[in-house]
């Protein structure tokens, strides 16, 4: 569904366009919200209109209202099945109850989204897949994915993409995708794992940015990013030379032209054939064939330039303890 279609679908429940936009934002970006977040989103101060909107959500069964701590404000969980059904999100996990740590992370992500109202946000799996495959012309098999044992139809080994559900936004001209990484504790290992999950996608993009946001400004992760990019670029450069050489010879061999491969090259070819016999490299070879599948053609990979932004959220999330989003 388009953003406009989603707003119209929610407005059909009797909400104003502004309320509908907020509900679409919350349902797709975590499912939980605070009163102050609606006020910030709508650009209004607390009053009867805010109370009436939130009270109505609870009264008609679209939301639950509760407190994490007695001395803090209410948290609202937007869970109404009919609302998610109207958005084509019947199986969205945001409908499910979450732990306090999970709720804290969801509220942080919503604050990030609300704080950038002038960019295009992508929240659902399908939205992200369409963004990169259709707009950026990226091969499907380079998107970060996990293999599920089965999907809702019963099919086995189904690929699920962007399973961590971190939001992505696009801004600029030409458009640059920005990947949000929520850093709740400044962990290096978690950040590097995130980068590794996305490395094949990054390689296909001319420009991209990772936005590191958390309750604190983890400046150390900027250095981690720079080190990772430098080491990845060096490794990728060496590997790309071997891959290009191997793919070119392999395409010649598979066309039945073994005689065109010098005897002096056969030993290296067979060695690389063993080293590169993985699912990942098979996928890369298939992609390479589609665009460079003429014997002797040389690959011309995209020159990928990545950057990092490190920011701190302007809220403390004290109702979730001293380590919000962690424990």
For residues 133 and 115, is the Cβ–Cβ distance under 8 A? no
How far apart are the C-alpha atoms of 154 and 71, rounded to whole Å?
46
Task: Pull the structure tokens for residue 178.
Answer: 């920005």
Going 16 to 17 to 19 to 24, the CA torsion angle's sign is positive
Nearest residue to 171 via CA among 111, 198, 131: 131
| pLDDT given for residue 294 in this prediction | 41
Domain architecture of the chain: domains with CATH: 1-98 (1.10.10.10), 99-327 (no CATH)
| pLDDT given for residue 97 in this prediction | 96
| pLDDT given for residue 251 in this prediction | 86
Going from the first residue of the chain to its last (327 residues), give the mean pLDDT of each consecutive group of 10, the final group possibly shorter.
95 97 98 97 92 97 94 94 96 95 96 96 96 94 81 65 94 96 94 93 94 95 93 60 79 83 82 76 74 45 82 92 83
How far apart are the C-alpha atoms of 67 and 47, rounded to whole Å?
20
Q: What is the pTM of this model?
A: 0.79
- DSSP secondary structure string, 47-111? SHHHHHHHHHHHHTTSEEEE-SSTTS--EEEE--HHHHHHTT-TT-GGGS---HHHHHHHHHHHH
| pLDDT given for residue 151 in this prediction | 53
**Beta-strand (E) ranges in 144-271?**
145-150, 156-161, 168-171, 176-182, 207-214
| pLDDT given for residue 216 in this prediction | 92
| pLDDT given for residue 299 in this prediction | 44
For residues 292 and 247, is the Cβ–Cβ distance under 8 A? yes
**Beta-strand (E) ranges in the chain?**
32-34, 63-66, 75-78, 120-122, 145-150, 156-161, 168-171, 176-182, 207-214, 305-312
| pLDDT given for residue 255 in this prediction | 86
């Amino acid at each position: 569904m388009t953003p406009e279609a989603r707003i119209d679908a929610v407005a059909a429940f009797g909400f104003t366009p502004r309320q509908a936009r907020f509900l679409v934002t919350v349902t797709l970006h975590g499912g939980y919200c605070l009163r102050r977040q609606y006020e910030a989103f709508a650009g209004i101060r607390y009053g009867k209109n805010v109370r009436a909107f939130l009270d109505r959500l609870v009264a008609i069964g679209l939301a639950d209202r509760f407190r994490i701590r007695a001395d803090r404000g209410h948290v609202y969980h937007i869970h109404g099945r009919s609302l998610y059904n109207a958005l084509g999100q019947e199986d969205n996990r945001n409908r499910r109850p979450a732990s306090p740590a999970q709720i804290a992370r969801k509220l942080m992500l919503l604050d990030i989204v609300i704080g950038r109202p002038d960019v295009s946000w992508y929240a659902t799996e399908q939205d992200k897949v369409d963004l990169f495959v259709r707009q950026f012309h990226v091969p499907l098999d380079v998107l970060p994915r996990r293999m599920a044992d089965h999907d809702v139809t019963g099919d086995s080994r189904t690929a699920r993409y962007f399973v961590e559900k971190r939001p992505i936004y696009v801004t600029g001209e030409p458009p640059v995708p920005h990947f949000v990484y929520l850093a709740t504790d400044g962990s290096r290992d978690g950040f590097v794992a995130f980068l590794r999950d996305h490395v094949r996608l990054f390689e296909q993009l001319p420009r991209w940015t990772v936005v590191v946001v958390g309750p604190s400004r983890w400046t150390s992760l900027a250095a981690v990013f720079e080190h990772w990019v430098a080491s990845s670029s060096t490794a990728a450069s060496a590997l790309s030379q071997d891959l290009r050489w191997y793919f070119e010879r392999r395409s010649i061999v598979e066309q039945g032209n073994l005689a065109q491969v010098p005897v002096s090259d056969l030993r290296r070819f067979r060695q690389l054939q063993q080293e590169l016999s993985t699912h990942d490299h098979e996928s890369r070879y298939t992609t390479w064939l589609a665009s460079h599948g003429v014997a002797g053609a040389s690959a011309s990979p995209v020159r990928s330039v990545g950057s990092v932004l490190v920011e701190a959220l302007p809220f403390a999330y004290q109702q979730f303890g001293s380590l919000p989003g962690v424990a």
